[in-house]
Amino acid sequence: MAVSALQLWRMGGLLRRRFPTCLSPWKIPPRVLKSSQPEALVSLTNNAVAFAPLQTLTDEEIMMKQTVKKFAQEHVAPLVSSMDENSKMEKSVIQGLFQQGLMGIEVEAQYGGTEASFFCSVLVIEELAKVDASVALLCDIQNTIINNLFRKHASEEQKATYLPKLVTEKLGSFCLSEAGAGSDSFAMKTRADKSGNYYVLNGSKMWISHAEHAELFLVFANVDPSSGYRGITCFLVDRDTEGFQIGKRENKMGIRASSTCQLTFENVKVPETNILGKIGHGYKYAIGSLNEGRIGIAAQMLGLAQGCFDYTIPYIKERMQFGKRIFDFQVYIIKLCCLA
């Protein structure tokens, strides 16, 4: 029986960045080195803090990487081509991510999560991206954006209601961008007007990732346009809410298995209890979550590049031209060295 990543973590205890004692001499220089300084090292103070290089992983982190690698190779790799050609994420892949405990990496154990570190999320995203960037993006958004927004800003009741499902079965979607508010996200036109104990949402969102499979949507709308971005508030909208429509998926050049859709809100009634955090603080939440999400995107790019490199080496060792392997031509070796 396959052992999930969640089980492995719990057997190994909570994830912490524990480094070997042999690395303790690594110190922080008491001043910043300037490019004009010829010396590579400066004197160190006795009370400086020790840091180890990021390539130094704990036993638990190594175990997690190996588990994710095995899952990606056995359950994702065989489906990559078909998912890309058909622009469709297989449900078995989504279910596998949940079953392996990879959709609640930082979420506290009381809600069913792994309660690991943000660094662990980055490692998992990178490992998945080596095989398929679409699957890595799915894991990235769920962990670094959706779950963390709940962990940091949701009420205790909201956490108890949503986090256990987000960890085990329910995908979330982050809904910020609009047709006229892409890079300038805070120029959004989607409004939320107060009506008794509800807010009524009207407007549309564009380029929303995972909208096709998501069950919960974190929608940013302005409750007071006269206040500009300070009126932006985050609302929790369930998929089956009346007046909420999900458009057809975009036909993209890349990351095709990850759905990207337009959303439309026509008099969508959302109860006050479905406001995430504070009214008018949505812009702060969006900035903070996107900053973390960008680190996840960087992990995807690193994993994607490493995956391409890993697939290239075996090929050029087999491909024959002019009676020699491509690998034996110096021009290709130089290129590979530069890429590595």
Q: What is the pLDDT of residues 246-273, one digit of tens each?
A: 999 999 999 999 999 999 999 999 999 9
Evaluate whether 132 touches 72 at the Cβ level (below 8 Å).
yes
**What does the pLDDT read at residue 48?**
54
3-class secondary-structure state, position 252: coil
**What does the pLDDT read at residue 335?**
85
Q: What is the mean pLDDT of residues 69-95?
A: 96
Non-local (6+) Cβ contacts of 98 within 8 A are: 167, 168, 169
Q: Is the pLDDT of residue 17 over 50?
A: no
Q: What is the mean pLDDT of residues 306-327?
A: 91
- Give residue 99's identity as a one-letter amino acid code: Q
Distance CA 148, CA 278 (A): 16
3-class secondary-structure state, position 7: helix
Evaluate whether 243 touches 267 at the Cβ level (below 8 Å).
yes
> What distances in angstroms separate CA 260 from CA 42, 177, 214, 282, one per listed residue?
51, 12, 11, 22
**What does the pLDDT read at residue 337?**
85
Distance CA 157, CA 165 (A): 13
**What does the pLDDT read at residue 49?**
54
**What does the pLDDT read at residue 207?**
95
* DSSP conformation letters of 260-312: EEEEEEEEEEEEGGGEESSTT-HHHHHHHHHHHHHHHHHHHHHHHHHHHHHHH
Evaluate whether 207 touches 260 at the Cβ level (below 8 Å).
yes
Q: Is the pLDDT of residue 35 over 50?
A: no
Confidence tier at 34 by pLDDT (50, 70, 90): very low
What percentage of the chain exceeds 70 in pLDDT?
A: 84
For residues 215-233, one letter each, b for 16 or more C-beta atoms within 10 angstroms of the residue's C-beta and e for the rest, the string is ebbbbbbbbbeeeebbbbb
**Token pair for 241:** 């809410």
Evaluate whether 276 touches 158 at the Cβ level (below 8 Å).
yes
Q: Is the pLDDT of residue 177 over 70?
A: yes
Q: Is the pLDDT of residue 24 over 50?
A: no
Highest mean pLDDT among 8-12, 39-43, 71-75: 71-75
Burial class of residue 174 in the structure, from the number of CB atoms within 10 Å of its CB (0-12 exposed, 13-18 middle, 19+ buried): buried
Confidence tier at 339 by pLDDT (50, 70, 90): confident
Q: How many alpha carbons lie under 13 Å from residue 298 in its C-beta half-sphere? A: 8
Q: What is the mean pLDDT of residues 107-114?
A: 96
Question: In terms of pLDDT, which residue wins out, 175 or 25?
Answer: 175
Cβ count near 120 (within 10 Å) = 24
**Token pair for 286:** 């969006």
Distance CA 314, CA 312 (A): 6
Q: Is the pLDDT of residue 74 over 50?
A: yes
Where do the domains of the chain lie, and which CATH numbers do they carry? Answer: 63-170+285-340 (1.10.540.10), 172-280 (2.40.110.10)
**What does the pLDDT read at residue 56?**
82
**What does the pLDDT read at residue 224?**
96
Token look-up 């955090």 returns 277
Q: What is the mean pLDDT of residues 113-139?
A: 96
| pLDDT averaged over every residue in the chain | 87
Helix (H) or strand (E) holding 118: helix 118-129
Which region among 74-78, 242-246, 294-298, 329-333 has the lowest average model confidence (pLDDT)? 329-333
Confidence tier at 12 by pLDDT (50, 70, 90): low
3-class secondary-structure state, position 97: helix
**What does the pLDDT read at residue 181?**
81
